[in-house]
Structure 1
Amino acid sequence: MAGKVSGLLEFFMVVGRLKRTVRAGWVQRHVAQPESVSDHMYRMAVMTLALGDNDGINRDRCLKLALVHDMAESLVGDITPACGISKEEKHRKEKDAMNHITSLLPGDIGTEVIDLWMEYEQQTSKEAAYVKDIDRFEMILQAYEYEREQSRPGELQDFFDSTKGKFKHQTIQEWVQELEKMRNKDPTDDKT
């Protein structure tokens, strides 16, 4: 029993590193006080609650996928295209990290976590595809917030450009359309 508990505590500490792992894309763009990977994953998880019963999507599964999709970054960091690491090498590093992380968990839980991570990575379910849309949407929502909060209008356009035409689900497409309206609104329109 003590070995299981110590493994769990180590798991909790490893994933706790996500609270201190900043999102590299924001650092590369010189965003002040960038969010952590944990911040990003938390809001994604909350967003899954807003899905409702769309297209027969299992919200509980989406929540789990959101919570594990970036878990490997607790060990390998946030690897972006600007890091110069191939997609294959990134996947290998993250898979090795996930194998270590899940080895700290009891067998059935560890198996579930690695299976969820692989499902997201390989996009093998409609829930994984939905969560991928949420991942992209959360990123552009955060970009919009940084532009507004840090008086950087339009400076993070490349994040929006990177998602153009990639949203598959109507609900998320509606969120994107509304965000674009908000972003394109003249700030003087709010003044009466």
Structure 2
Amino acid sequence: MSRIGKKPIALPKDVEVLIKEGAITVKGVLGALSLDIHPLIQIVHDDEGALKFEMAREGRQAKAMLGTTRALVANMVQGVKHGFERKLTLSGVGFRAQVQDNQLSLSVGYSNPVLHRMPEGIKVETPAQTEIVVKGIDKQQVGQVAANVRRSRPPGRYKGEGVRYANEKVILKETKKK
């Protein structure tokens, strides 16, 4: 059995959980998220205000899904309570970012600006021209939007110019020697 799957999730006071057959919905201050539950997993809401996860049947797939489901639900609880954010930085001469009407415009060295329309539930801020902050309640969606923005101009191997995560370390290649 998964060690992660054994841990119960303590629910904060302002987070509500609704478990219906085959789905769980988590509502909080920032919004609501729902997830379809695998048929091999059962979620029990105990009297202490915690969620416990159990396998309906023994098996290899049930063990794998137990830890996965527990981690997804824990991310949902944290998302509706606090939210998630990813920070990106632009490095390069003339590289800048702007937000206009829920759309991110990047000037990253191409002839035209690169536009990224943000999906519903995702907010983008640019505290400075070279900083981008992606915020939302769904961890997977925030990470995917940040990855799509980074993909528009990944850091170069020789100078390191491009879009990178705030804590990312880029290993630069050495140039040719004469």
Superposition TM-score tier, normalisation by shorter sequence: under 0.3
Higher RCO by CA contacts (8 Å cutoff, separation 6 or greater): 1
Question: Which structure has the highest helix share of the two?
Answer: 1
Question: Which structure has the highest strand share of the two?
Answer: 2
Q: Compute the TM-score of the two structures, normalised by the length of structure 2.
A: 0.23
Asked which structure has the greater CA Rg, the reply is 2
Q: Compute the TM-score of the two structures, normalised by the length of structure 1.
A: 0.22
